[in-house]
């Protein structure tokens, strides 16, 4: 399955992405972690740094366009809208050459792709962060991750990238929500966009025990969309699975099995992304 973690800044997206990656690896799954955020926290939580020669999606932007046969750096929607176009296809095992050029091995189970939004070459470039993320948007729906692999994406804070359709190729978005007004507001915004774009949405309440009253309110409002609770756990701050509390680990495992059963029936990603791009091109015309 492909899961994108989103939510308000500071809600725990990177921490929960990291936890899911570690738990999946402990279950002997293969995991592709994708860091799509400016802060590049998942990169660092997985023990990596983006050096001048580290491959990122950003640095391979032109290679992606060559691979999908898009000459100009605009109208990305053409990839899915032009009927005579051969659709791209990406895979992890065996890897296609584009994937090979950007994937960074972490260990036997985990590998990493960084969009590279936080690197200096992006900070001083005049392409906007939507433009930088466009390859990921069109990589995800065409990536066949295989039956043994899961994909966990750590996204940019807030609802903005949802409007751009960045995660339409995921099986679901997982909103990380804290029992806090502002965090709950972001959940509502993200959910409204997910609904419009037909993208399955679930939420996990992080630090659920920090405000039982608001946690209850979130549960009442979102009902079955809530697929887990992660306690506040100082052990998480070490980013070492051995130091994570048993209760946190159990909650994370329950969350994964809930997500797996709820995403088991795949909906048609291509239909979703086509509809979205058709709307966008109509709106622009
Ligand atoms: N369940 C938790 N228990 C304890 N600390 C947490 C928990 N979730 C997140 N944190 C801490 O809260 C801060 C923000 O989390 P982070 O994952 O960086 O959020 P985001 O990626 O959404 O900005 C970090 O210092 C992180 O270690
Ligand atoms: Mg983060």
State pLDDT tens for residues 132-155: 999 999 999 999 999 999 999 999
The confidence score (pLDDT) of residue 59 equals 94
pLDDT averaged over consecutive 10-residue blocks of the chain (285 residues)? Answer: 97 98 98 95 96 94 95 90 94 97 98 92 81 95 97 94 95 98 98 96 97 98 98 97 98 98 88 95 86
d(CA 187, CA 169): 19
Supply the Cα-derived Rg of the chain in whole angstroms: 18
Residue numbers of the domain that contains 104: 2-284
Q: How far apart are alpha carbons 141 and 276 in whole angstroms?
A: 13
Residue nearest ligand 1's atom 1 by CA: 232
pLDDT at 120: 82
Count of structural domains, the chain = 1
Q: Is the CB of 244 under 6 A from ligand 1?
A: no
Smallest Cα–Cα separation from 251: which of 213, 201, 204, 216? 204
Burial of 55 (0-12, 13-18, 19+ CB in 10 A): middle
User: How far apart, in whole angstroms, are the C-alpha atoms of residue 194 and residue 206?
Assistant: 20
99 CB within 6 A, ligand 1? no
Ligand with the closest atom to the CA of 239: 1
| CA-CA-CA-CA dihedral for 88, 94, 99, 102, to nearest 10 | 180
Antiparallel, parallel or unpaired: β 143-144 and 172-177: unpaired
| CATH number, domain containing residue 140 | 3.40.50.300
The Å distance, Cα 199 to ligand 2 centre, comes to: 22
* Burial environment of residue 168 by CB neighbours within 10 A (0 to 12, 13 to 18, 19 or more): buried
Residue 123 confidence (pLDDT): 80
Maximal CA-CA distance, the chain: 55
Joined tokens for residue 35: 């860091």
Q: Is the CB of 179 under 6 A from ligand 1?
A: no
d(CA 22, CA 283): 41
- What torsion, rounded to 10 degrees, do the Cα atoms 187, 193, 199, 200 define? 30
Helix (H) or strand (E) holding 278: helix 269-284
d(CA 51, ligand 1 centre) in Å = 25
Minimum-distance ligand 1 atom for the alpha carbon of 239 = 27
Three-state secondary-structure class, residue 285: coil
Q: 151 with 20: CB under 8 angstroms?
A: no
Euclidean distance between CA atoms 208 and 149, whole angstroms:
29
Closest-CA residue, ligand 1 atom 27, reads 237
For residues 37 and 174, give the distance between their C-alpha atoms in angstroms, rounded to a whole number.
15
Nearest-ligand number for the alpha carbon of 11: 1
> Is 37 touching ligand 1 by the criterion CB < 6 Å?
no
Helix/strand number for the chain, H first, E second: 12, 10
Query: What number of CA atoms fall less than 13 Å from residue 207's CA on the CB side?
Result: 17
* Token pair for 27: 């279950």
């Amino acid at each position: 399955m492909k899961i994108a973690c989103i939510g308000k800044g500071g809600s725990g997206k990177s921490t929960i992405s990291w936890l899911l990656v570690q738990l999946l690896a402990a279950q002997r799954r293969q995991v592709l972690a994708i860091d799509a955020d400016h802060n590049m926290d998942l990169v660092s939580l997985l023990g990596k740094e983006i050096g001048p020669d580290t491959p990122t999606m950003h640095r391979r932007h032109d290679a992606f366009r060559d691979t999908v046969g898009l000459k100009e750096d605009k109208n990305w929607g053409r990839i899915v809208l032009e009927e005579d176009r051969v659709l791209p296809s990406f895979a992890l095992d065996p890897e296609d050459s584009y994937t090979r050029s950007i994937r960074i091995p972490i260990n036997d189970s985990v590998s990493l792709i960084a969009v590279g939004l936080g690197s200096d070459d992006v900070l001083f470039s005049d392409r906007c962060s939507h433009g930088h993320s466009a390859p990921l948007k069109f990589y995800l729906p065409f990536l066949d991750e295989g039956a043994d692999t899961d994909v966990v994406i750590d996204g940019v804070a807030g609802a903005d990238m949802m409007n751009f359709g960045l995660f339409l190729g995921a099986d679901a978005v997982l909103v990380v929500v804290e029992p806090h007004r502002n965090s709950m507001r972001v959940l509502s915004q993200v959910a409204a966009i997910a609904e419009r774009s037909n993208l399955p949405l679930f939420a996990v309440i992080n630090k659920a025990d920090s405000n039982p009253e608001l946690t209850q309110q979130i549960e009442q409002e979102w009902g079955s969309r809530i697929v887990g609770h992660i306690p506040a756990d100082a052990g998480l701050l070490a980013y070492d699975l051995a130091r994570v509390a048993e209760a946190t680990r159990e909650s994370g495992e329950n969350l994964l099995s809930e997500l797996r059963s709820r995403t088991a029936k795949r909906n048609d990603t291509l239909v979703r992304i086509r509809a979205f791009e058709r709307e966008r091109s109509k709106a622009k015309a």
